Structures are given as C-alpha cells and as structure tokens.
Structure 1
Amino acid sequence: MTDLPSVSGTVPERETLKPYVGLFGVMIGSMASTLSTRVTVFGLADLRGALGAGFDEGAWITTAVGIGQLVGGLSCPYLASLVGPRRMLLAGIAVFFTASLLAPLSPSLPAYLAAQLLASLGAGTFIPLTIIFIIRHVPSRLKIYGFAIFAMNAEFSQNVAASLEGFYADHWSWRWIHWQYCLVLPVMFACVRYGMPEDDVSDGSGIRNLDWPALLYAWLGFGLLYAGFDQGNRLDWTGSGIVAGLLLGGLLGLTAFIVRELTAVRPAIDLRILARGYLLLFFFLLIGFRFVILATGYIIPVYLQVVQNYRGLEVGSVLVWIAIPQLVLVLPLAKLLQTFDPRWTLGAGSALIGIACLIATGLTDQWATDDFLASQAIQAVGQSFALTSLVVLIARSITPTEAVAIGTFVQMSRMFGGEMGTAFMQTLVRTREQIHSNLLGLHVQAQDGLTVDRLFAYGRAASSRLSDVSEAAAQSTRLLANAVARQASVLAYIDGFMAAAAVAAICWILSAFVPRSPAR
C-alpha cells in the first residue's frame, strides 16, 4: 500500500486515495454507532410519547439498542472471517439504513423495538470493523492518526447527542432521531465500497467449522447481563425477580461461553489472546474510562433537567464543551504520541479526568452552563489523552490477524463499561438522594426559628397570588419540601462526582503498571 506523495502540486493516483476514502467511511460508521445509543437515551421521553408507551414499557427501548450492538459486535470475528470485513460492513450498513428508515413508521411498540434491535445489530459491527480497517489498510505512518481520530470520533459523537436530539425535538420531528442516519449511511456505503479492499471468497469451511454453541452462549450471556444492568435500577435490582433472573442467566451463559472458548479447537472468539496480561489490563482501563465518562455523562444532564429544568438543546450546550476540545486536540495529540511514550499521556489523561470530577464536586443548586465549563474542558482534554493513548497501546500490542478479536473486545468493553457506569450512577444517586433527604428532613423542625422564617417567606410570596390563606400556607409547605428535595438531589450528584473521581484515581494507578508493550 503506497502513501500519499509529498511532491507539491502533484495529483495522487486514484489507487492511492482508496485507504483515505475508506477511513472516512468507517469513521462515519463509528460516529453513527455511538450516536445511536446516546441520542436514544436523550430522546427517550419523546420516543415514549410518540409511541404511546408508558415509562416501564418505554424503558426497554434503550435495552434493545444495547443488546443489538452487543450481538452485532460479538458476531464480528466469525462473520468477518467467513464473508470478509468489507462484505460484512456493507451488509451492516444496509441493515442499519433499512431499520432506521422504517423504525419511525412502526405501528406499535413491539414493532419499533424489533426495528431498533435490527438497526443496532448493523451498527454494532461498525466499531470492530473500523479498528480492523485501520490496522490492516491505513498506511503505517498514518495509523496513529487513524486511531486518534477513532478515539475522538467515538467520544465526540456521544457529547453532541443531546444537542442533536434537542434540535430535532424543538424544530423538526422525533423521527429524525432515526432518519439522521439515512442521510449519512449512503455516503458511508459509497466510501467503504470504494476504499475498502475486496474480500477473499470463502471456500465454505467457515460454515462447517463454526462454533455455534459458543456464539449462542455469548449472545445469551452478554445480552441478558446487559438487560439486567439496564433494567436494574428501575426494578430495584435483587428486589425484582426479572432482574435477578436476567443477571443469573447472563452469568451462566457467560461462564458457558468462556469454558467453551478456552477448550475449543477453533474458537469463535479467541479468548486466549487475553492471556497476554497487559492486554487484559488495557481492557480493564477501557472499562474504567467508559465507566467514568458515562457516569458523568449521566449526572450532568440529569442535574440540568431536574434542578434547572433545562431542555435538550440547553443540556447539549454544556456537553458540547467536552466535544469541541477533542476536535482541536486530535491531530496535535497524534503527533505528540509519535514522540512520547503513550503511557505518559495515559497517566496524564487519567489524572486530568479525576481532577475534573473533583472540581465538579463544588456543585451547588445555582450552577448553570458557565459553571460547568472549567471541569468539562479539563475532562475533555483528559479523555482525549487517555482514550487515544489507550487505543494506540492496544493497537501496538497486537498483530493484524488479531484485529478482528481485538475489535470485538473493544466493543464489549466500551458497551459494558458505559452501561455499568450509568447503572451504578443511577442507583448511587437514587439511594444517596433518599439518605440526604432523610438527613435534611431531620433538621427541618416545625417550631425551629429558621423553619418558621422560611415558611413565612414562602407564604408571603404565595399570598400575593392566592387569596385563600389556608391554600397559601399549604403552598409554602410544598415550596419548603421542594427546597429540601432540591438540596438532597444536589448532594447526591456531588457524591456521584466523588465516586467518578475515585474510579479515575484507580485508572491512574493502573496506568502505572502498563508495560512498554512490543510493537507487533
């Protein structure tokens, strides 16, 4: 594979441009894959309303998206070896496009969930196959730029999701949550078809040697675990037979999958790669970073919506400050990683993420958009450093033949790390809010002077709008209760930022044990 000529004024040959066109195509897919999960989360209320679904029924929408992406990613190693990465990616684009086009036209919630599951199956192949493309087909001197763009792309798309959903809800229609992909997927299809090398035709041995039981165990194990994590907070974890059954079934399926793959002659997904201890450490770090990123990505929007009554576009104006620095840093960071050991930037990024979370613990009920800028800008730089360095370290530690399995492990780590972060933070915030509400309530005594003064102030404000004295008194009591609940929520969010800072500190410590991995 030749590189772009450096002679000024010359026009690159047609063949030389192919890997760059292909890279552009797979980056579109990487962004669309991440957007499909985050936009759905931010648009869940609009989707429930449009589909006439209640809170409990609508909660399964995000679960369907996550399970589809997991199953799609798990299928990559086998299908890519059977039909080739190019054919598989083109098929995934076609499935994602068709399901996204039809999903808003679904006549019922079950039909919509089926369309979401199909769309996510297609999108789930994008990130593993993006990694495969960069490792195998991007010129060697530019691989590090490809990985830097990939790391930036995945996090950038997640942080612009709130702005996109808010714009669609306010100006267009909820249907564009899905139809937005129909605008870019044809471009992706054309780029991949032109820029990705043709696949070798399979001789049919792949079908005969397929380890179907292992794939089935993997689909059931990871799918049930993801559903259990996604529904756990809503159904109160072990207090729900459904969640307990999902988690138990998932653990059994996962155990069967691991045992099968470690003993099979031709494993569907080669887990033996993880015997290289540093690779396992890399994936633990990836899970940890995704945990922190999705945890803070949950706290800030919920705080703005619950405490400040922000809408989607207003929430997006805060999160976009994580996205913008990543665009600026992507190319200089890639150049920096060509000079410095990525382990140093990995440690620096981990530290910056922790510092950003600690800054955010200064949260009060008066914080608005501008108050988050300092912490979010620092977190953006930290995420760029940490994730890009980690992806580069992973890529330097594997051979091109291992790219398929590694791409799947990356997809699994990011999906489960993010889901665990969100599930943990939902439960932590809910329980800590209850504790803080109870503790604050103990200090609100009916005969206390401060309580009387606060009730009097609320009553005077209410009486200016209400003529009935008893109704004004009841309104003042409600206002006091709301103030207590507001403060309890803020204290719970502070606890959440402290927990995220603790996980970032663990990642920082683990980064010190990353060895200088050999280039393969």
Structure 2
Amino acid sequence: MTTSETPGQSPPSKPVQPQSTTNPYVGILAVFLGAGLATLSSRLLSVGLPDLRGALGISFDDASWLPTAFNMATMFSGVFVVFVNAFWGPRRILLPAAGIFAAASFLLPFAPNYQVMLAPVIVAGLASGTFYSLTMTFVLTNLPKRLIIFGIAAYAADIVFVSNFASLLEGWYIYYLSWRWIFWTAALFTPLMMVCVHFGIPHRTNTEPRPSWRGFTYFSLSLALLYGALDQGQRLDWLNSATIVGMLVAGLFLFGATILRRLVQPNPIVNLKFLNTRNIIILATSIFVFKFMHLATMVLVPGFLANIQLYRPLETGHALAWVALPMFAMVWVAATIIIYTNSRPVLVLGLTMCGICCWLWSRVDTSWSGNSFEIVELLLSLGLAGAYIGLVGSIVLEALESGALTSASNVATYSGFMHLMRLFGGQIGVAAMTRFIAVREQFHSNMLGLYVQRGSWLTDQRLRMLTGGVLSRSTDGLEAQQRAAAILGLQVRAQAYTLATSDGFVLIVWVVIAYLLLMLFLRPGKITFNDLSKMQ
C-alpha cells in the first residue's frame, strides 16, 4: 500500500512544485551586465572605427558599414525579442544569445579580411540586441515594488557610466594594449553574465499562445533596413544613392507587409489598442527627446574636439569620461528625491537643466578646448542623470497605472514600443542632427565665403600675415602664398563647423522647450513611488 492509500489521509489535490533555486537579485545583475555590455560594445566599435581602419587597412566606406551592420542586427533582434520573451522567457533567450555573443566577439579580431569580419559583427549584433531589451521587463517583474525606483537607478547608472566611459577605454586600449580589445572586452565579461543568468533567472513553462513569427520577421527586417538607411544616409547623399533608395523601399515594403499581416492574422501577444493613450505616447516621446539631448555629449562635443582641436579618442575620453562618476552618484540622489516627490518634476528639472547647458554651449568658438566644456559639462551630466531617472520612472509608473503588467500581451506591447522608441527614435535623432550640422556648415561656409575673397583688403591683409608666418618654412614666396591660402581655407572651414556646432546646441534647446510644452498635456498620475515604497 502506498502512502497516498493510507487510511485517514487524503491524497494531495495537486502535485507539489519544486522550489526555485535561482536568486532574482543575481538575475537582475545578469541583465544589468548584459545591458552594459551591449552598450559598451556598440560604443567601442563606433569610437574605435578610425583605429580599426588603420590596423586592418580597411577603406573609409567599408569601415563605416561595421557599426551600421552591428546596429542593424541589434535593431532586428531588439524589438523582436521582447515579444519572444512572452513565449519563451528570458532564460531560454539570454543563455544561448550570451554564448553566441561571447564566441563572435572572441573570433572577430581573427577575421582575415573585411568580408569575413562583417559576418561575426552581424551575429554579435543579433545576440547583443537581446540583452538590453529584456532588462527593465525582468527588473519590474522580479523586484519588490518598493525597490523598483532603485532598480531604475541602477539601470541608469549602468547605461550612463558605460556610455561616457567608452571613449576613454577605447583610447586606453589603443595606446597600451591592442585594437583587439575593442571586441575581447565583451568576450571576457559575457561568461560572467551567463553564470548570473544560470543562477538568477528561472526556467519558465510556456503558457502564452505561440506568436506569429512571420509578422515579427517582416517588422524587424523593415526596422533594420530603415535604420541602415538613416545611418548611412548622410554619407551616401540620401536619395542620390541607389543603396539608400533600395533600403528605404525594401524597408517600407516590409512594413506594409507587416500591416497587411496584422490585418489578416492578428498576433495574439500584440495589443496595439493598449498604446492608444495620450500619456503613453507623450512619455514615449521623452525617450527620443533624451536621446536627442544626449547628442550634445555623444556627437557635438566629440565632433568639435576632433575636427577643430584634432583630439584623438583618448584625449576626447579624458575630456568627457570624468563626468561618469558624478552621473553615477546623481542617479541615486534623483531616485531618492523621486520617492518623496514625483518622477515628472524630476524629469522637467533635468530637461530644463540640460537645455540651459546647451544654450551656454551655443557660445562655442574655435578657441575652446576640452577644458572649456568642463563646468557646464558637469551641470549637464547632473541634468542628464536626473532626466533619465525621471523619464524611466514616469514610464514605469505609467506601466503600473495603465495595467501593462496585468497580461503578457500588454507587457510585451508596452515594452516593445518603448524599446522601439529607444532604438529607432535614437537613430532618427542622430540622422537628423548629422544632416543638420552638414547643412548648417555649408550655409556658414557660403556666408563666410562672401567676405573672404581675393581683392578684399581684409582678405589680402590676412593672407599677407599668414604668408609672413610661413615664409621661413617655405622654399620661396610663391609656395608661402599657396600655403597661406590653404591655411585661410582651413580657418574658414573651422569657423563654419564651429558655427554649425553652435546651431546644433540651439536646436537641442528648442527640442527641449517643445517637449516641456508637450508635457503640459499629460494627465495627472494616480500613483507615485512613495506609494510603492510603502508596499510590502
């Protein structure tokens, strides 16, 4: 007779589930490591591109496709994986993806030529795209509600620190080690992430309906192609390039196929009606505004230092990376302030501070060096940290208030939409700013050219001064005059680029002002982090 048949003892109503042996805090460390490695790999590849070209003998045109291919692959998997997560769970995604990412990163420096290197770059991009996209979803569903704001702070600290530190790290690699460490950094630390995933993220049984892979494939391919067109558009002269036209047409065609597929066979884990609220749309726009505002330190200042002061990546890193520490500290201060106030005022204050800093930087001139940006850069870093915590906190509160976490379809749709804004919206900002700087530089160059003409006494006087300065290092007077004319042309170009950079800072200010006005239309929130902190 078995135990279940013993008289007086009723059989159990359901089998006892084995207790999970995983630790959610170790899992949170895993997804934070993944997000940091994905951000660091992308930044190292972008800032280290000139050194890769020199080390491998790759042409400028070919080398420019390496970060584009990486980011296109990230775009493909970044939104896709949010919905796949609803069916498979993060463990079944992150473990194989991390292994593939580590292997691809390790093998990349051994590629014999550019064509062979392109393949593992794409594979690494596909794998790393899964890391960032699952971070906040896992944090929100595994942290106690009273600790969510500090999870957001840790997430922000992870991203802002890595983003600012990448230039300095890449320069240090080139100067002291090797360009290979641009890739080997990920290969070194990804196994640690895999260990944390193994011990921190549990298995999950499939309970949701199987998604429509075809619809997701169409959508992800369309995003990847449109992203590539935006990334390469300025370099290839936009619609004057058959490559850009082909990518745009193919991307739009696949996007149309996605819409048709949605109408014919709706995906069971996508609930687009859930996004049709004013607050969700306005708060999602804040991601684009933050990304656009961040271009001040990611594009404008590094571009100015490289083009006007001829800074190398290591020098640019020294000029910008130091603010990572105050930003790292500020995110915790902002998180604490949010508990006792609200996330939206912190977002407004951070955006306002950043707008003021960009307005101060709009007074830039050709004499500025890295030290000239330091004081305002410190204030900007504090504003960025506050704005980042404020926007992520506002998005999380909206998710909790709107019921995004009540069903797998809602959480996948909400998270996928926000990641779409992060990935695609950020690239739209980069493409818009790059195009804006190029157009404004050409405009200022033409305007300055009206006043820098031979025969003008100011121009002639400037040429005589320059000729006298280079005469001792020239073979004769004719060569000195030619060198003087070349120097004057470079000075005009430097002035035009500086004025265009100033215009870029002003553009950021106007974008911030426009969004602050848009925030007036937000409906008041019903819950705060102070309410969550009181929950057990």
TM over 0.5: yes
Equivalence for 1:109:
114
Equivalence for 2:253:
252
Aligned-partner Cα distance in 2 for 1:485–1:290: 28
Residue 466 (structure 1) aligned with residue 474 (structure 2): yes
Residue identity opposite 2:227 in structure 1: Y
Give the alignment of 1:491-510 within 5 angstroms.
491-510=499-518
Residue identity opposite 1:103 in structure 2: L
- SS of the residue corresponding to residue 188 of structure 1 reads helix
Residue of structure 2 aligned with 1:420, choices 420, 423, 428: 428
Aligned-partner Cα distance in 2 for 1:103–1:408: 30
Equivalence for 1:160:
165
Equivalence for 2:9:
none
Equivalence for 2:132:
127
Residue 93 (structure 1) aligned with residue 98 (structure 2): yes
Residue identity opposite 2:481 in structure 1: A
| 8 Å CA contact 1:261, 1:271 repeated in 2 | no
Give the alignment of 1:81-480 within 5 angstroms.
81-196=86-201, 198-202=202-206, 206=209, 209-261=210-262, 264-267=265-268, 269-294=270-295, 296-398=297-399, 399-400=404-405, 401=408, 402-480=410-488
Greater Cα shift, 230-239 or 318-327: 318-327
Q: Report deviation, 1:16.
A: 11
Residue identity opposite 1:286 in structure 2: I
| 8 Å CA contact 1:289, 1:507 repeated in 2 | no
Equivalence for 1:481:
489
- SS of the residue corresponding to residue 473 of structure 2 reads coil
Q: TM-score, normalised by structure 2?
A: 0.89
Q: Report deviation, 1:116.
A: 1.0
| 8 Å CA contact 2:275, 2:414 repeated in 1 | no
| 8 Å CA contact 1:53, 1:109 repeated in 2 | yes
* Residues 375 and 270 of structure 1: CA distance in aligned 2, closer, same or farther (over 3 Å): farther
* Residues 285 and 124 of structure 1: CA distance in aligned 2, closer, same or farther (over 3 Å): same
| 8 Å CA contact 1:152, 1:388 repeated in 2 | no
Q: TM-score, normalised by structure 1?
A: 0.92
Residue 58 (structure 1) aligned with residue 59 (structure 2): no
Residue identity opposite 2:241 in structure 1: S
Aligned-partner Cα distance in 2 for 1:212–1:144: 34
- SS of the residue corresponding to residue 464 of structure 1 reads helix
Q: Report deviation, 1:374.
A: 2.6
Aligned-partner Cα distance in 1 for 2:514–2:38: 28
| 8 Å CA contact 1:355, 1:501 repeated in 2 | yes
| 8 Å CA contact 2:343, 2:390 repeated in 1 | yes
Aligned-partner Cα distance in 1 for 2:78–2:237: 29
Aligned-partner Cα distance in 2 for 1:253–1:154: 32
Q: Report deviation, 1:259.
A: 4.9
Residue identity opposite 2:513 in structure 1: A
CA displacement, residues 214-254 of structure 1 (integer Å, 9 cap, x when unaligned)? 11211221011101101100111122222122223222322
Aligned-partner Cα distance in 2 for 1:261–1:318: 49
CA displacement, residues 262-309 of structure 1 (integer Å, 9 cap, x when unaligned)? 664434543333123311221111112112213541111111111001
Residue identity opposite 2:135 in structure 1: T
Residue 511 (structure 1) aligned with residue 519 (structure 2): yes
| 8 Å CA contact 1:343, 1:514 repeated in 2 | no
CA displacement, residues 44-70 of structure 1 (integer Å, 9 cap, x when unaligned)? 112223333211111111111111111
| 8 Å CA contact 2:269, 2:413 repeated in 1 | no
CA displacement, residues 320-366 of structure 1 (integer Å, 9 cap, x when unaligned)? 24422211112221111111111111111111121111111010101
Q: Unmatched 5+ residue regions in structure 2?
A: 1-18
| 8 Å CA contact 1:46, 1:169 repeated in 2 | yes
| 8 Å CA contact 1:93, 1:123 repeated in 2 | yes
| 8 Å CA contact 2:334, 2:346 repeated in 1 | no
Residue identity opposite 2:181 in structure 1: W
Residue identity opposite 1:290 in structure 2: K
Greater Cα shift, 304-313 or 322-331: 322-331
CA displacement, residues 2-25 of structure 1 (integer Å, 9 cap, x when unaligned)? xxxxxxxxxxxx999923222222
Equivalence for 2:76:
71
Q: Report deviation, 1:422.
A: 1.7
* Residues 274 and 259 of structure 1: CA distance in aligned 2, closer, same or farther (over 3 Å): farther
| CA RMSD between the two structures | 2.2
Residue identity opposite 1:479 in structure 2: I
Q: Report deviation, 1:417.
A: 2.4
Looking at CA atoms only, which structure, 1 or 2, has the larger radius of gyration?
Answer: 2
- SS of the residue corresponding to residue 523 of structure 2 reads coil
Aligned-partner Cα distance in 2 for 1:80–1:179: 28
Greater Cα shift, 154-163 or 316-325: 316-325
Residue identity opposite 2:459 in structure 1: T
Aligned-partner Cα distance in 2 for 1:58–1:494: 29
Aligned-partner Cα distance in 2 for 1:156–1:359: 24
Residue identity opposite 1:67 in structure 2: M
- SS of the residue corresponding to residue 267 of structure 2 reads coil
Residue identity opposite 1:69 in structure 2: T
Greater Cα shift, 414-423 or 168-177: 414-423
Greater Cα shift, 471-480 or 394-403: 394-403
- SS of the residue corresponding to residue 310 of structure 1 reads coil
- SS of the residue corresponding to residue 156 of structure 1 reads helix
CA displacement, residues 362-418 of structure 1 (integer Å, 9 cap, x when unaligned)? 101011112111332222122112221111121122233444433333322122222
Q: Report deviation, 1:318.
A: 2.4
Segments of 4+ in structure 1 off by > 6 A?
14-17
| 8 Å CA contact 2:296, 2:358 repeated in 1 | no
| 8 Å CA contact 1:343, 1:389 repeated in 2 | yes
Q: Report deviation, 1:147.
A: 0.9
Aligned-partner Cα distance in 2 for 1:74–1:50: 34
* Residues 375 and 254 of structure 1: CA distance in aligned 2, closer, same or farther (over 3 Å): farther
Residue identity opposite 1:202 in structure 2: N
Q: Report deviation, 1:75.
A: 2.3
- SS of the residue corresponding to residue 202 of structure 1 reads coil
Greater Cα shift, 362-371 or 409-418: 409-418
Residue identity opposite 1:235 in structure 2: L
| 8 Å CA contact 1:321, 1:373 repeated in 2 | no
